[in-house]
């Protein structure tokens, strides 16, 4: 009988995260202070983030960062996650390709986000912080952070993008169940929120508005640190447990990926899966291809510009060297809330610039079509975000059908979609649409 799922024992779990910055052929450009315009130091960053996260953020020397015991202990509640050979999907696609997915949807929070939430809350607690704050879009990060805060005895305040809050009401209930205080963003509770609402009373909110509010709260509240669910280097670092496990599990399956695919919001689940494999491209000349699947309505990788930009709408964050659509870009209200972000992480942006990976754009309807195919073959309802990766994989698998190539494809199922059934319902009722962006619209926010 053919083996379908591969798991690791607790003894086989990774004991260190992989920091690709140490091995990158071209190191990322420095982060720049928003007012002094000097390169940022750990001390600058540590004013809002837990210090150890800042050290990791700027570390371009150490390839391996030990996972603290307390974090590793919490990982063992749900890791390893299964590596699954998607035989039924392959069959439905009539493809000679071998398709594997790393199933990050099986933890109780339902997405990969908890891998970094646990690390960030642990470091915050260690340095004596009492409160953490953050932003969340669809709510997966907020849910993960709320849980991790409880685990390490911290209070959590979460700003949730207003439109996502309406689309996914149960995610706020989950956050509140774990004890977090949840506010819709933009809100009247911060200076940044008030400014945004004054300019645009019906602003639907975006990750950029919610980040402004959370950063402001951290800056103005003693004992409060800000945490981020993606984009930053240390977040992608924590997510490398995904790829490090997958590497061992692929070996158990006797295969090595020709193509690695993940959906792309800020780059953390993509980097988490891709970086551990990419190190073999960089150090040993492997030729694996890396594909980031972004929504066609938020195409920073394929249609954005590489330049310094703010991470938030108000311009409180450091200036980041990244592919961006401009920090005032207002993404369409697609259901993949986790992919509605204007910029790409600094490491990923440099890797894209250097040709080590590339992006593909997936329209919303195509992502749902792929989601249904996956649900009906593999029995898992994917998160709307993850469906972008599935759609990209299906495209490659169909190409293999044309060419007869037996490519080995590996992707991350970054989360399940069981709390996204309103989105599925709208799709099934024919009420969802694609959003197309003109070059003029993109040029406007890049001005």
Cα 119 to Cα 104: distance, rounded to the nearest angstrom: 17
Handedness of CA 318, 312, 294, 424 (dihedral sign): positive
| Positions of E strands within 70-223 | 83-85, 98-103, 131-136, 155-161, 181-185
Name the residue whose CB lies closest to ligand PLP: 415
Distances (CA, A) of 381 to 99, 134, 139, 377, 414: 17, 27, 17, 10, 12
Say whether residue 364 binds ligand PLP (CB under 6 A): no
* Interface positions, 322-341, toward ligand PLP (CB under 6 A): 338-339
Instruction: Residue 64: count other Cβ atoms within 10 Å of its Cβ.
Output: 13
Q: Which residues pair with 324 in a beta bridge?
A: 305, 343
Give the burial string for 18-27 (b: 16+ CB within 10 Å, else e): bbbbebbeee
Strand partners, 136: 160
Does 415 contact ligand PLP by CB under 6 A? yes
CB of 68 vs ligand PLP, minimal distance in Å: 22
Site mask, ligand PLP, residues 93-132, x = CB under 6 A? ------------------x-x-------------------
Q: Which is nearer to ligand PLP, 184 or 229 (CB)?
A: 229
Q: Determine if 249 is a binding residue for ligand PLP (CB under 6 A).
A: no
Least separation in angstroms between CB 403 and ligand PLP? 30
For the chain, count helices (H), then strands (E): 18, 15
Least CB distance from residue 66 to ligand PLP, whole Å? 23
Q: Which of 18-26, 186-194, 209-217, 382-390 is the region at the interface with ligand PLP (rule: CB under 6 A)?
A: 382-390
Which residue, 175 or 263, is less far from ligand PLP as judged by CB? 263
Closest CA to 185 of 215, 207, 201: 207
From 392, 350, 354, select the one nearest 371 (Cα to Cα).
392
C-alpha–C-alpha distance, residues 118 and 112, integer Å: 11
Q: Closer to ligand PLP at the Cβ: 95 or 136?
A: 136
Could you tell me the CA-to-CA distances from 93 to 1, 101, 290 in Å, in that order?
21, 15, 21
Residue with tokens 């390893």: 80
Nearer to ligand PLP, 95 or 147 (CB): 147
Of 186-245, which residues contact ligand PLP (CB under 6 A)?
230
* Closer residue to ligand PLP in complex, CB, 331/338: 338
SS3 assignment, position 264: coil
In angstroms, give the least distance from the CB of 114 to ligand PLP. 10
Q: Is 383 in the site for ligand PLP (CB under 6 A)?
A: yes
Task: Assess contact for 159 and 135: CB atoms under 8 A.
Answer: yes
Closest CA to 382 of 394, 392, 368: 368
User: What three-state secondary structure class fits 265?
Assistant: coil
Quote the least distance from Cβ 222 to ligand PLP, whole Å: 29
**Least separation in angstroms between CB 140 and ligand PLP:** 3
Q: How far is the CB of 180 from ligand PLP (least distance, A)?
A: 16
Contact assessment for residue 76 and residue 118, using Cβ atoms and an 8 Å cutoff: no
Decide if residue 146 touches ligand PLP (CB under 6 A).
Answer: no
Q: Is 414 in the site for ligand PLP (CB under 6 A)?
A: yes
Piece of the chain touching ligand PLP by CB under 6 A; list 3-11, 94-102, 244-252, 258-266:
258-266
Task: Name the minimum Å distance from CB 392 to ligand PLP.
Answer: 13
Contact 377, 91 (CB under 8 A): yes
Say whether residue 343 binds ligand PLP (CB under 6 A): no
> Nearest 5°: phi and psi at 303?
-130, 5
Q: How many residues bind ligand PLP (CB under 6 A)?
A: 20
Q: Is 299 in the site for ligand PLP (CB under 6 A)?
A: no
Single out the residue of 210, 203, 223 nearest to residue 182, CA to CA.
210
Which residues neighbour 379 within 8 Å (Cβ) at sequence distance 6 or greater?
none
Counting contacts by CB under 6 A, is residue 386 touching ligand PLP? yes
Which string of x and - marks every residue 261-280 that binds ligand PLP (by CB under 6 A)?
--xxxxxxxx----------
Pick the closer one to ligand PLP by CB: 28 or 338.
Answer: 338
Q: Which is nearer to ligand PLP, 295 or 400 (CB)?
A: 295
Measured from the CB of residue 274, what is the shortest distance to ligand PLP in angstroms?
11
Pick between residue 230 and residue 281 the one whose CB is nearest to ligand PLP. Answer: 230
Minimum gap (Å) between residue 309 Cβ and ligand PLP? 17
Helices assigned H by DSSP within 69-161: 69-75, 87-92, 114-126, 140-151
Q: Which is nearer to ligand PLP, 241 or 400 (CB)?
A: 241
Point out which residues bind ligand PLP (CB under 6 A).
111, 113, 140-141, 230, 263-270, 338-339, 383, 385-386, 414-415
């Amino acid at each position: 009988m053919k083996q379908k799922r591969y798991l690791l024992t607790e003894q086989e779990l990774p004991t260190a995260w992989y920091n690709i910055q140490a091995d990158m052929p071209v190191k990322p450009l420095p982060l720049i202070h928003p007012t002094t315009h000097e390169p940022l130091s750990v001390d600058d960053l540590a004013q809002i983030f837990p210090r150890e996260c800042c050290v990791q953020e700027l570390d371009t020397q150490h390839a391996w960062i030990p996972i603290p015991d307390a974090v590793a202990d919490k990982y063992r509640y749900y890791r390893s996650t299964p590596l699954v050979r998607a035989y039924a999907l392959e069959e439905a696609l009539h493809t000679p390709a071998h398709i594997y997915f790393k199933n990050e949807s099986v933890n109780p929070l339902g997405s990969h986000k908890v891998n970094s939430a646990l690390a960030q809350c642990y470091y915050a607690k260690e340095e004596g912080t009492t409160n953490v704050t953050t932003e969340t879009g669809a709510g997966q990060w907020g849910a993960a952070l709320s849980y991790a805060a409880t685990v390490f005895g911290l209070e959590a305040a979460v700003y949730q993008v207003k439109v996502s809050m309406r689309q996914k009401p149960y995610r706020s209930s989950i956050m509140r169940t774990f004890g977090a205080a949840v506010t819709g963003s933009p809100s009247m509770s911060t200076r940044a929120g008030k400014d945004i609402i004054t300019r645009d009373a019906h602003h639907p909110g975006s990750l950029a508005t919610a980040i402004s509010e959370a950063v402001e709260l951290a800056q103005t509240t003693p004992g409060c640190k800000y945490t981020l669910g993606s984009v930053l280097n240390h977040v992608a670092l924590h997510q490398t447990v995904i790829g490090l496990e997958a590497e061992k599990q692929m070996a158990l399956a006797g295969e090595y990926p020709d193509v690695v695919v993940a959906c792309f919001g800020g780059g953390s689940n993509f980097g988490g899966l891709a970086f551990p494999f990419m190190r073999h491209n960089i150090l040993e000349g492997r030729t694996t291809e890396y594909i980031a699947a972004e929504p066609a309505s938020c195409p920073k990788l394929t249609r954005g510009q590489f330049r310094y930009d703010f991470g938030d709408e108000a311009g409180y964050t450091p200036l980041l060297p990244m592919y961006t659509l401009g920090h005032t870009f207002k993404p369409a209200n697609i259901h993949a809330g986790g992919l509605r972000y204007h910029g790409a992480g600094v490491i990923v942006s440099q890797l894209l610039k250097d040709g080590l990976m590339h992006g593909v754009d997936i329209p919303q309807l195509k992502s749902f079509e792929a989601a249904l195919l996956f649900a009906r073959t593999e029995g898992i309802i994917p998160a709307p975000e993850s469906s972008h990766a599935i759609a990209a994989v299906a495209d490659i698998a169909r190409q293999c059908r044309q060419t007869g190539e037996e490519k080995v494809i590996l992707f991350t199922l970054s989360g399940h979609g069981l709390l996204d059934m309103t989105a599925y319902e709208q799709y099934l009722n024919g009420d969802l649409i694609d959003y197309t962006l003109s070059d003029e619209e993109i040029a406007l926010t890049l001005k």
